[in-house]
Structure 1
Amino acid sequence: MQFPESWLREYCNPDLTTQQLADLLTMSGMEVEELQPVAPPFTGIVVAEILTAEQHPNADRLRVCTVDAGPHSKDGPLQIVCGAPNARAGIKIPLATVGAELPPGEDGKPFKIGKGKLRGVESQGMLCSARELKLSEDHGGLLELPLDAPVGQDIRAFLNLDDTLFTLKLTPNLGHALSVYGVAREVAALTGAPLKTLPTAPVVPTLDDTLSITVEAPDLCGRFSGRIVRGIDTKAKTPAWMVDRLARCGQRSVSALVDISNYVMFETGQPTHIFDLDKIHGGLTVRWGREGETLKLLNGNTITVDAQVGVIADTQAVESLAGIMGGDATSVGDDTTNVYVEAAFWWPDAVAGRSRRYNFSTDAGHRYERGVDPAHTVERIERITTLIQQICGGEATACGPVTDAIVNLPAKKPVALRVARAAKVIGMPVTQAQCSEVLTRLGLSFTESDGVLTVTPPSWRFDIEIEEDLIEEVIRVIGFDQLPLTAPVAPVTARVRPEAQRGSYALRRSVAALDYQETINFSFVEERWETELAGNTHPIRLLNPIAAPLSVMRSSLIGSLVQVLRHNLTRRAPRVRVFELGRVFQRDASVQTSEQSVVGIDQPLRVAGLAWGAAEPVQWGVKERAVDFFDVKADVEALVAPRVARFVAAEHPAMHPGRCARVELDGVAIGFVGELHPRWRQAYELPAGQGAPVLFELDVPALLARDVPAYQAVPRQQAVTRDIAVIVGDTVGHDAVITSLLAAPTGGLLRSAKLFDVYRPAAGAAGFEPGERSLAIRLELLDDEAPLTDARSDEAVKAALDAVQRDLGARLRGA
């Protein structure tokens, strides 16, 4: 919320500087997000009047003006050459006298005015536009001031340009502070400075005219007030003081009636609406919408309402979206002469979220969602009527009595404040007298008993429901800066992580050490990603997505990484290696609600990575090549080390069927690694000639577990290596061969078996059948107790060969 300091001080003017006032508001829970001067620094600008404006003798677009600047033109009127199209006799404008300094330009230096000549005619100053004073972007001509502006007065004093704009960042529970008067009421409570009352003088009705109002939905509208005003002039000009205040609240001037409504909303926090009375058919009915009803709003949008949206309707159609925005059909215009002024109390739950259904928000809806004081709707009608008569009135203006339909007002339940409990929660001693004083300053009515104050929340406070709310008010007014520095009573003990587990940040550092860069993406993604890249045809949908495409929760991290790759490729990134560690969301009926879970939804942690482009950064010592499956497989092995992963050929919706593997640890699948499917490379417009992106996605808990280092003696004997070459069919995998060899009954002598060569013979080669290949494997033999003899080594090798022959039909090459 934005407002000028001068308006606030009209209602409460504590003896504090601007900065002290801002600090006080921030420390009381109303964070001052920004302090901004109304105008930049400049000097020597005064109010002046143009006496004459003659055509320049040597320029078609220039005029020679004589200007009265009061005390600043001692030797008679000043002669000033001006090129503004609206320079004419009789108007009052800002004048930069000789020696004046205009606001700093782009270079940060002020512009100083001196005497000069324009096309041979002397100019003794400069007439200014609003843009030249940096008051607005209007550069269509001179800034015209009111005709009663005192000639010679400093323009900063006349326009109150030494004012400051306060921008508050309010939390949702502070709906009572969404007005200048609401903030003033808080300042009065915090400082003890007197609070002036709002102008609420009633207007004497001169008509008996009323409009029939029917409230059919008490759960939508609790109170509806209004009155008829006839004979107004909607073409009347909004006073400059009101236009200026609205502008300093961030609201541009629209028309007199709209400006009056907005002014009262910023002043009191009560949104109101003004209907064109002659466009209303019959009376007004407040009800819930009906399926199929449509409404054209003031912003030009045509919406369809339903039974979940509140409306105001006449006998023919829906005329307004309750608590949010009026309809175009009954809007006031230049031809309007009779109006109906409405102020209502709409239940917050009945308004909350309705604007977002139609992708817009309004100041009125923002306030009604947080709660608007239902006790003063009639007073707000009186205030608006007074302003209408002052600004748009005339001899023909007349108003009817205020109709006030009270249907269902909030019942304020008493809340008990125990002084002893308050002291315990706050953490410092407080007395009953202190608590009483705070509640009195806040305008909260209460009764006292021994150590207990029972408070009845006022109509404007929707945030006081439990004892802790009152405790917060007590310390907020006393001052958070009064809290003592107290050491904690309980000992602070670090939670030691088991040695067999590492933290998620250690895992992040491990992935980053493998040359991957971390990314953080939304948990909600496009439904297409889920269907195509995760094979999830029934994703968890969002009820209120922040953008139409991001409509479902992700069950895989792969889609997000593919999108990151696309983003980088559009910016000509030559090499991309990214990863993300985050939660995914899957349906699981076994999950129950807890502090960290929602019923029916599993939220496991996953880590996923993507590599594309060159395997290594460009350098002279290594030949450039594209990253492949085995590069990323090695990265996965490094992440699970010292545990050893098993890679089993498998299929994944996002990955190439022949270049994808399931990653297993101790027989349990923990994820997948593989190339992105060519179909998705084409569908997501990834370059075809620079290698395929290679991805992995793994369960985080499996990677956090690690083996505790165990002591093992250094072998006292020398290992023996034997190389063998076995012939197997193409359908026999490497993993099966190695597993068979290591499982052979060698008495524990065979310690490792590693493939170091693959030979695929030409067709018809001797010793090979069609569809066979040769695998060269190095066997490592070791006996910790005694040296190995050739006989024992041969026996172990034979046992290994027999096992692979028995299990897989392999044979020794050359046998």
Structure 2
Amino acid sequence: MQFSESWLRTFCNPAIGTAELAETLTMAGLEVEELKPVAPPFTHIVVGEIRQAEQHPNADRLRVCKVDVGQAELLNIVCGAPNARVGIRVPCALVGAELPPGEDGKPFLIKVGKLRGVESQGMLCSARELKLSEDHGGLLELALDAPLGQNIREHLDLDDTLFTLKLTPNLAHCLSVYGVAREVSALTGAPLLAPAFPAVAVGNSDSVKVTVSATDLCGRFSGRVVRNLNTRAQTPQWMVDRLARCGQRSVTALVDISNYVMFELGRPSHIFDLEKIHGGLDVRWGKAGEELKLLNGNTVTVDDKVGVIADDVQVESLAGIMGGDATAVSDDTQHVYVEAAFWWPKAIAGRSRRFNFSTDAGHRFERGVDPELTVEHIERITQLIIDICGTPDTTCGPIDDQKPNMPVAAPVTLRVARAAKIIGMPLSQAQCADALKRLGLSLTEEEGLITVAPPSYRFDLQIEEDLIEEVARMVGYNNLPDTPPLAPITARIRPEAQRSAFAVRRALAALAYQETINFSFVEERWENELAGNPNPIKLLNPIASQMSVMRSSLLGSLLQVLKFNQARKATRVRVFELGRVFLRDASVKSTDATVEGFDQPMRVAGLASGSEHPLQWGVKDAPVDFYSVKGDVETLLAPLAPEFKPGTHPAMHPGRCASVWLDGKCIGYVGELHPKWRQSYELPTAPLLFELDLEPVLARRVPVFKPVAKIQAVQRDVAVVVADSVTHAALMAAIWAAPTAGLLRDAQLFDVYRPKFAKDAVVAEGAGDRSLAVRLTLNSDEASLTEEQIESTVKAVVDQLSQTLDARQRV
């Protein structure tokens, strides 16, 4: 909302300066977003009249003008403007005048000079040269009655300020100069000059038959016929200036009048060319397939969700938004129909955005416009039409006013104690009542209660909190006390047996993975193929068709990141994400942090593709493989020792996928991407992936102090032949289960041997066996181990392997 300070002060003129007025409005919730002078600084520019204009003797495009600026002698000024002619009054910069700064930022000083041999004693100015507009078509022509010699700043009221307000949607009553003035009066106590609406004399009985078929669209419809107008009349300069300072350019007199009343009083209206209306008007909802060419030149197709005004032949305008081209007024218009209506806000809200444009009228109607003053505002519009476009034959018809469905405002009660609690400062009932009375609200009082009957222009006053806000605005937000919060703040101390999510991020970053952050809603195809989820959680209003479901796995997002990088010639990609997934779970109940029926656990997932190491001379180039990523998972979980078992996952290669187990519970998977998905997603190589539940990853063992051994440890190697199906985990479990009396301190598998020929001694008793070599570390805290203790411990381990895994010692 933009307007000039001078226009505002015609309604309410408080004894405060511009800056204080802006601060007062801002502290009352009407944020002043910008203060801008109407014109830049310049001096010694006055009103002058061209008395003579002769051709320059040495230049075809210059004229030598004799200019009267109210002094004893005429000034001799050389001018090249195409409209320089005798009789017009224009701004004249005298010798010594400073014009607004140019592109270099320096003011332009007017001196006596010669142009092609003729002396020039000043300069005649265009609007662009004074930085009043971008119009550079010629001199700025002033009114013929402009006082000669008067300072141009005073004549054009250029010492004015433009206010730009940033209004919230509930302040629709301030979308007019008078509405803001009403607020200023309430805030400062300055008197408010209420506009008068004297009735225009009725000179004919003509009317247009109007039928309001949709009362849920239109609650009131008023209109009148005005005949015999001169629509070619010029809009007065004062109206053009006020409209320009509201950001509205002048169009034609009738359009300017309609716009002027909208900015003045907040009443959008429409003026029809009476002779272009076929029969009567019907206010109704549109019908599917109906088309309308609008005033902006666009042709739109309406449906039954959009309100229209139609005549007996066609749709003539979009209700409350924009008129149609078919009934638009023109220079040939003689008779008009003036309309002012009340449109229900919900019937207008969002309609213009369906057609990808917005209008000032729609902006106001969808927030609420006063339904009680349609007749008064038509009187105001009519009087302006007569004053500007009237002729001796101009006559006005009676106002046809229909009220099929007027809004009824329900009273709202304010509890004084509640207001004091919400605002956070002591308030008396008299203070609250005074604040509401200053706003022009009628109220009744009881002990501790104030009941307000909202006026017709205050659609926002519906509940008690609305009245509390009004009291706070009148008190002034800057006057509210600074009250520190009383809620205790207790730091959440993370247990020592748990690390933070940031520690997990740092651990993966140390393994050369880069973190990515992706959307939680993904393509449905990813869920079906990569997560094996045939029934994903679908979004009711997705932002894009490829983001229609909530993810139950992080792998699809990582594959998309891989494709994005490979499309940009990235040969080595190692990325991870720590994020939330969304699963259906009927056991979950609603709490502050959960939603009934849906589990939302955190997971961490990673992807590696390309070379295992960056290109360098010291290491032979080799592609990343399953064991590299498996090692990364082990490093991430350390010092916990996970167990890996053959597993199956919809996204991973059968036989090259392992499930990850901790404390007897599966916490995730690691493996190579399935070949069919690699082909489907057009990846040159199969990446390695892992996905783990975050909660067990955050767990860590609390370190336990152990003294350094005083006695040297003993190491012995044991090689056993076992079936090929025996896993490393089973081997280690059997070794640690042996009765070693605490002498076994460590066991490491260091060799795996598979025979190449069937006659090899290793497989003398069974083809498909393999040899596993384990290094045992033995020690005692009491004394050095004897050979007998060593041999018995090794024997206990071998016997345990034999009993548990049917192993035999290799000799």
CA–CA distance in structure 2, aligned partners of residues 11 and 442 of structure 1: 15
User: Are the structure 2 counterparts of residues 64 and 374 from structure 1 closer, same or farther at C-alpha, using a change threshold of 3 Å?
Assistant: same
1:352-384 per-position Cα deviation (integer Å, ceiling 9, x unaligned):
333333333333333233222222222222222
* Range with greater deviation from structure 2 (496-505 or 572-581): 572-581
- 2:235 maps to 238
Q: Kindly indicate whether residue 791 of structure 2 is the aligned counterpart of residue 791 of structure 1.
A: yes
Correspondent of 2:700 among 707, 713, 727? 707
User: Are the structure 2 counterparts of residues 497 and 110 from structure 1 closer, same or farther at C-alpha, using a change threshold of 3 Å?
Assistant: farther
1:13-42 per-position Cα deviation (integer Å, ceiling 9, x unaligned):
222222222222222222222323333333
- 1:37 maps to 37
CA–CA distance in structure 2, aligned partners of residues 104 and 761 of structure 1: 94
Deviation at 1:226?
2.2
SS at match of 1:231: strand
- How many residues align? The count is 801
Q: Kindly indicate whether residue 735 of structure 2 is the aligned counterpart of residue 737 of structure 1.
A: no
Amino acid at match of 1:43: T
Correspondent of 1:358 among 327, 350, 355? 355
Q: Kindly indicate whether residue 344 of structure 2 is the aligned counterpart of residue 340 of structure 1.
A: no
SS at match of 2:386: helix
Deviation at 1:444?
1.1
- 1:271 maps to 268
CA contact (8 A) 1:48 1:67 kept: no
* Range with greater deviation from structure 2 (418-427 or 630-639): 630-639
Q: What are the within-5 Å matches in structure 2 for residues 387-786 of structure 1?
A: 387-486=384-483, 491-500=488-497, 605=602, 640=637, 642-643=639-640, 666=663, 701=695, 703=697, 705-707=698-700, 709-714=702-707, 716=709, 736-738=727-729, 740-744=731-735, 745-747=737-739, 779=775, 781-782=777-778, 785=781
Deviation at 1:435?
1.5
CA contact (8 A) 1:228 1:400 kept: yes
CA contact (8 A) 2:52 2:67 kept: no
CA–CA distance in structure 2, aligned partners of residues 145 and 209 of structure 1: 40
- 2:174 maps to 177
Q: Kindly indicate whether residue 70 of structure 2 is the aligned counterpart of residue 79 of structure 1.
A: no
CA–CA distance in structure 2, aligned partners of residues 313 and 453 of structure 1: 46
User: Are the structure 2 counterparts of residues 59 and 727 from structure 1 closer, same or farther at C-alpha, using a change threshold of 3 Å?
Assistant: farther
Deviation at 1:660?
7.2
User: Are the structure 2 counterparts of residues 79 and 358 from structure 1 closer, same or farther at C-alpha, using a change threshold of 3 Å?
Assistant: closer
CA contact (8 A) 1:742 1:752 kept: no
1:188-242 per-position Cα deviation (integer Å, ceiling 9, x unaligned):
1111111121342332332222222222333332222222333334444433333
1:692-718 per-position Cα deviation (integer Å, ceiling 9, x unaligned):
887766655555x43362424246365
Q: Kindly indicate whether residue 198 of structure 2 is the aligned counterpart of residue 201 of structure 1.
A: yes
SS at match of 1:274: strand
- 2:19 maps to 19
- 2:312 maps to 315
* Range with greater deviation from structure 2 (620-629 or 492-501): 620-629
CA–CA distance in structure 2, aligned partners of residues 204 and 364 of structure 1: 28
Deviation at 1:556?
6.2
User: Are the structure 2 counterparts of residues 209 and 51 from structure 1 closer, same or farther at C-alpha, using a change threshold of 3 Å?
Assistant: same
Amino acid at match of 2:452: V
Amino acid at match of 1:385: T
* Range with greater deviation from structure 2 (351-360 or 560-569): 560-569
Amino acid at match of 1:103: P
1:765-787 per-position Cα deviation (integer Å, ceiling 9, x unaligned):
98999x99989876564556566
CA–CA distance in structure 2, aligned partners of residues 107 and 146 of structure 1: 33
CA–CA distance in structure 2, aligned partners of residues 550 and 299 of structure 1: 36
SS at match of 1:331: coil
CA contact (8 A) 2:643 2:729 kept: no
Give the structure-1-normalised TM-score.
Answer: 0.81
CA contact (8 A) 1:31 1:170 kept: yes
Amino acid at match of 1:24: T
CA–CA distance in structure 2, aligned partners of residues 336 and 648 of structure 1: 88
SS at match of 2:19: helix
CA contact (8 A) 2:658 2:671 kept: yes
User: Are the structure 2 counterparts of residues 93 and 350 from structure 1 closer, same or farther at C-alpha, using a change threshold of 3 Å?
Assistant: same
CA contact (8 A) 1:51 1:65 kept: no
1:126-150 per-position Cα deviation (integer Å, ceiling 9, x unaligned):
4444344333333444444444444
- 1:64 maps to 63
CA contact (8 A) 2:67 2:77 kept: no
Amino acid at match of 1:711: V
CA contact (8 A) 1:719 1:781 kept: yes
CA contact (8 A) 2:67 2:76 kept: yes
1:294-349 per-position Cα deviation (integer Å, ceiling 9, x unaligned):
44444444444444333333334433333333334433344443333322222222
Give the structure-2-normalised TM-score.
Answer: 0.81
Amino acid at match of 1:746: A
User: Are the structure 2 counterparts of residues 778 and 435 from structure 1 closer, same or farther at C-alpha, using a change threshold of 3 Å?
Assistant: same
- 2:158 maps to 161
1:718-773 per-position Cα deviation (integer Å, ceiling 9, x unaligned):
566667889999x979xx4345434543347777666778899999998999x999
Query: Matched residues, percent identical?
Result: 64
CA–CA distance in structure 2, aligned partners of residues 470 and 37 of structure 1: 35
User: Are the structure 2 counterparts of residues 805 and 598 from structure 1 closer, same or farther at C-alpha, using a change threshold of 3 Å?
Assistant: closer
CA–CA distance in structure 2, aligned partners of residues 22 and 507 of structure 1: 52
CA–CA distance in structure 1, aligned partners of residues 42 and 186 of structure 2: 37
CA–CA distance in structure 2, aligned partners of residues 123 and 531 of structure 1: 84
CA contact (8 A) 1:200 1:380 kept: yes
* Range with greater deviation from structure 2 (302-311 or 160-169): 302-311
CA contact (8 A) 1:738 1:753 kept: no
Q: Kindly indicate whether residue 282 of structure 2 is the aligned counterpart of residue 289 of structure 1.
A: no
Amino acid at match of 1:76: L
CA contact (8 A) 1:81 1:118 kept: no
* Range with greater deviation from structure 2 (417-426 or 635-644): 635-644
Q: Structure 2 unaligned segments of length 5 or more: list them.
A: none
CA–CA distance in structure 2, aligned partners of residues 107 and 11 of structure 1: 40
Q: Structure 1 unaligned segments of length 5 or more: list them.
A: none
Amino acid at match of 2:190: A
CA contact (8 A) 2:609 2:687 kept: yes
SS at match of 2:179: helix
User: Are the structure 2 counterparts of residues 801 and 9 from structure 1 closer, same or farther at C-alpha, using a change threshold of 3 Å?
Assistant: farther
* Range with greater deviation from structure 2 (473-482 or 433-442): 473-482
CA–CA distance in structure 2, aligned partners of residues 292 and 432 of structure 1: 57
CA–CA distance in structure 1, aligned partners of residues 101 and 85 of structure 2: 28
CA contact (8 A) 1:52 1:67 kept: yes
User: Are the structure 2 counterparts of residues 228 and 498 from structure 1 closer, same or farther at C-alpha, using a change threshold of 3 Å?
Assistant: farther
CA contact (8 A) 1:290 1:305 kept: yes
SS at match of 2:3: strand
Deviation at 1:438?
0.9
Q: CA RMSD in A?
A: 4.8
User: Are the structure 2 counterparts of residues 285 and 719 from structure 1 closer, same or farther at C-alpha, using a change threshold of 3 Å?
Assistant: farther
